[in-house]
Amino acid sequence: QVQLIESGGGLVQAGGSLRLSCAASTRTFGTYVMAWFRQAPGKEREFVATISQGGRNTYYTDSVKGRFTISRDNAKNTMYLQMNGLKPEDTAVYSCAARISSFWTTKKDPNDYDYWGQGTQVTVSS
């Protein structure tokens, strides 16, 4: 069982920045494909970004390309999401997820992920 704990959310004005962190409880963190999802009120959970086990490969949803950067530090068992140029439409609960896989593929369906954090609220005011 892998526990994931997000932190770093908060309230920020449009155009501002936040850095989310996702700390994992497993020593085998480097074997998991990781991802960020978000869910706004009244909407379905939405894929944001994913990163390969070693961190070399990343993939983003179109709406955050050029503004968000996903990264990971396997020595610290932690994944990050640097969010710049935030917009009110980025307001959501952001959750990290882990997927068991022996190779890299881009999976955007939440059902493909095995472990989830509780989420952290990001609110962007206009």
pLDDT of residue 24: 97
Q: Which residues 6+ apart lie within 8 Å of 42 measured at CB? A: none
pLDDT tens by residue, 6-49: 999 999 999 999 999 999 999 899 999 999 999 999 999 999 99
- Supply the pLDDT for residue 103: 87
Both tokens of residue 86?
A: 């935030």
Other CB atoms within 10 A of residue 80 CB: 20
20 CB-contact burial (10 Å; exposed 0-12 / middle 13-18 / buried 19+): buried
Residues 50, 59: Cα–Cα separation, whole Å: 5
User: Phi/psi at 88 (nearest 5 deg)?
Assistant: -55, -30
Cα 53 to Cα 79: distance, rounded to the nearest angstrom: 11
What was the pLDDT predicted at 1? 85
Angle, vertex CA 105, rays to CA 53 and CA 23, nearest 5: 35
Residue 123: phi and psi, rounded to 5, are: -125, 125
Q: What is the per-residue pLDDT for 37?
A: 98
Report the Cα–Cα distance between both ends of the chain, in Å, rounded.
40
The number of beta carbons lying within 10 Å of the beta carbon of residue 23 is 16
